[in-house]
């Protein structure tokens, strides 16, 4: 039996809980209250779509039925192709979280390996992520390198 599995709709609340674990680890307080309840319906729908552009891979929490120990999530995006990605498909990793008392057991690596395979199967030319300093060694060991291009953001 595999350590990692693809998350389904019944995992949505735990996926959101682990997303908050990630925010907490980054020192980011939620910008509003109740975001998890408002996010639950759309996340549940996306987790129910096996052919969609979003996937989450999880590790079940040993000894806690229905609980999760780790989460890795990402999505595919199409942009007009270029030299590095002629088909224009890019993978984005945007949530990697492990409960503090379940860390250092290979859960994030196993989840990342599953997500990277999912990206490969769907033709992603490359994968992007933002890394916390303590996670950089994991990502570097998987082949990620620092991207020199600056990024900017606008919240709408």
**Per-residue pLDDT tens over the stretch 7-42:** 999 999 999 999 999 988 888 766 667 889 999 999
Spell out the alpha helix ranges (H) of the chain: 12-25, 35-47, 107-121, 136-141
The pTM is what? Answer: 0.90
Tell me the pLDDT tens digit for each residue of 80-138: 988 877 888 999 999 999 999 999 999 999 999 999 999 999 999 889 998 888 888 99
Dihedral sign, Cα of residue 49, residue 58, residue 120, residue 124 = positive
Tell me the pLDDT tens digit for each residue of 122-139: 999 889 998 888 888 999
Domains in the chain (CATH in brackets) are: 5-141 (3.40.630.30)
């Amino acid at each position: 039996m595999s350590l990692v599995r693809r998350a389904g709709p019944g995992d949505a609340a735990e996926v959101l809980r682990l997303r908050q674990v990630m925010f907490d680890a980054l020192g980011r307080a939620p910008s509003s209250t109740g975001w998890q309840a408002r996010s639950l319906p759309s996340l549940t729908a996306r987790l129910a779509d096996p052919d969609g552009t979003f996937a989450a891979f999880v590790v079940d929490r040993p000894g806690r039925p229905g609980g999760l120990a780790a989460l890795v999530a990402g999505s595919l995006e199409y942009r007009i192709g270029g030299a590095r990605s002629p088909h224009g498909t890019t993978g984005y990793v945007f949530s990697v979280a492990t409960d503090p008392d379940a860390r250092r057991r290979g859960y994030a690596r196993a989840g990342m390996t599953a997500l990277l395979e999912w990206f490969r199967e769907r033709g992603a030319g490359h994968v992007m992520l933002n890394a916390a300093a303590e996670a950089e060694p994991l990502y570097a060991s998987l082949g990620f390198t620092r991207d020199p291009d600056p990024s900017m953001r606008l919240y709408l």
